[in-house]
Structure 1
Amino acid sequence: MLLSRYERMIARRYLLPGKGEGFIFLVAGISLAAVMLGVAALVIVMSVMNGFRAELFDKIVGLNGHAVVQGYGGRLPDWREIVAQARETPGITQATPLIEQPLMATYNGRVEAILVRGMRVPDIRSNATLKGKELSGSLASLTPGSGRIGIGSRLAEALGAQVGSQISLLSPQGQTTPFGTVPRIVSYTIGAIFEIGVYDYDKAYVIMPLGDAQSLLLMGDAVGVVELDTVNADQVGTIIAPFAARVGSRGLVADWRQLNAQLFEALEVERIAMFTVLSIIILVAVFNILSSLIMLVRAKTRDIAILRTMGATRGGLIKIFMVVGTTIGALGMVAGLVLGFVFLFFRQDVVWFIQKVTGQNLWDPSIRFLTELPSKPNPVEIVVIAAMALVLSFLATLYPAFKAANTDPVQVLRYE
Structure 2
Amino acid sequence: MFRPLSIFIGSRYTRAKRRNHFISFISLTSMIGLSLGVLAMIIVLSVMNGFQREMSNRILGMVPHAVIAGDGRPVDGWQSLAEQLRAHPGVLGTAPITQLEGMLSYRGAMQPIEIKGIDPKAESEVSILGSKMVAGSLDDLEAGESGVIVGLMTARRFGLKLGDKLTLIVPELSDAPGGITPRMQRLNVVGVFKVGAELDGSLAMIHRADAAQILRWQPDQVEGVRVRLADLYRAPQLATELVAGLGKGYRSEDWSLTQGSLFSAMKMEKTMIGLLLLLIVAVAAFNIIATLIMVVADKRADIAILRTLGATPRQIMAIFMVQGSIIGMTGTLIGTVLGVLGAMNVSALVAWLEKVSGQHIFSSDVYFISTLPSELRLQDVLLVTLAALLLSFLATVYPAWRAAQTQPAEALRYE
TM-score (norm 2): 0.77
1:352–1:362 Cα change, 3 Å:
farther
Residue of structure 2 in register with 1:208 after alignment: 206
TM-score (norm 1): 0.77
Inter-partner Cα distance in structure 2 for 1:260 and 1:181:
30
Report the alpha carbon displacement of residue 36 of structure 1 after superposing the two structures with TM: 3.1
The aligned runs of 1:190-339 (5 Å cut-off) are: 190-191=190-191, 193-198=192-197, 200-220=198-218, 221-245=220-244, 247=246, 249-305=248-304, 320-337=319-336, 338-339=338-339
Residue of structure 2 in register with 1:13 after alignment: 15
Any idea what the Cα deviations from partners look like across 1:377-398, whole Å, max 9, x if unmatched? 3211210110111122123223
The aligned runs of 1:83-98 (5 Å cut-off) are: 83-98=82-97
Inter-partner Cα distance in structure 2 for 1:373 and 1:102:
34
* Letter aligned with residue 213 of structure 1: A
Q: Which consecutive unaligned segments of at least 5 residues does structure 1 have?
A: none
Any idea what the Cα deviations from partners look like across 1:234-275, whole Å, max 9, x if unmatched? 444444444323556434213333444433444444444443
Inter-partner Cα distance in structure 1 for 2:145 and 2:349:
42
1:379–1:81 Cα change, 3 Å:
same
Q: Is the 8 A contact 2:240 2:252 kept in 1?
A: no
Q: Is the 8 A contact 2:112 2:202 kept in 1?
A: yes
Inter-partner Cα distance in structure 2 for 1:340 and 1:90:
36
Inter-partner Cα distance in structure 1 for 2:406 and 2:133:
73
Q: Is the 8 A contact 1:7 1:316 kept in 2?
A: no
Q: Is the 8 A contact 1:76 1:251 kept in 2?
A: no
The aligned runs of 1:7-86 (5 Å cut-off) are: 7=9, 10-14=12-16, 18-22=18-22, 24-73=23-72, 75-86=74-85
Q: Is the 8 A contact 1:8 1:320 kept in 2?
A: yes
* Letter aligned with residue 15 of structure 2: R
Report the alpha carbon displacement of residue 403 of structure 1 after superposing the two structures with TM: 4.1
Inter-partner Cα distance in structure 1 for 2:262 and 2:205:
25
Query: Equivalent of 2:164, from 166, 185, 190?
Result: 166
Inter-partner Cα distance in structure 2 for 1:30 and 1:143:
68
* Percentage of matched positions with identical amino acids: 30
Inter-partner Cα distance in structure 2 for 1:253 and 1:9:
64
Any idea what the Cα deviations from partners look like across 1:107-133, whole Å, max 9, x if unmatched? 455433322222112223444532422
Q: Is the 8 A contact 2:94 2:126 kept in 1?
A: no
Any idea what the Cα deviations from partners look like across 1:257-312, whole Å, max 9, x if unmatched? 34444334444444444434443333332221112111111122234445667898
Aligned pair count reads 405
Inter-partner Cα distance in structure 1 for 2:103 and 2:256:
29
Inter-partner Cα distance in structure 2 for 1:36 and 1:263:
33
Is the partner of 1:122 in helix, strand or coil?
coil
The aligned runs of 1:117-132 (5 Å cut-off) are: 117-132=116-131
1:139–1:210 Cα change, 3 Å:
same
Q: Is the 8 A contact 2:137 2:190 kept in 1?
A: no
1:224–1:28 Cα change, 3 Å:
same
How large is the RMSD of aligned CA atoms in angstroms? 4.3
Inter-partner Cα distance in structure 1 for 2:123 and 2:96:
11
The aligned runs of 1:94-109 (5 Å cut-off) are: 94-109=93-108
Inter-partner Cα distance in structure 2 for 1:408 and 1:41:
42
1:29–1:67 Cα change, 3 Å:
same
Is the partner of 1:54 in helix, strand or coil?
helix
Residue of structure 1 in register with 2:412 after alignment: 413
1:245–1:112 Cα change, 3 Å:
same
Q: Is the 8 A contact 1:70 1:251 kept in 2?
A: yes
1:327–1:195 Cα change, 3 Å:
farther
Inter-partner Cα distance in structure 1 for 2:124 and 2:233:
26
Residue of structure 1 in register with 2:390 after alignment: 391
Inter-partner Cα distance in structure 1 for 2:322 and 2:59:
49
Inter-partner Cα distance in structure 2 for 1:299 and 1:26:
14
Is the partner of 2:261 in helix, strand or coil?
helix
Is the partner of 2:128 in helix, strand or coil?
coil
1:255–1:183 Cα change, 3 Å:
closer
Q: Is the 8 A contact 1:41 1:340 kept in 2?
A: no
Is the partner of 1:132 in helix, strand or coil?
helix
Residue of structure 2 in register with 1:342 after alignment: 342
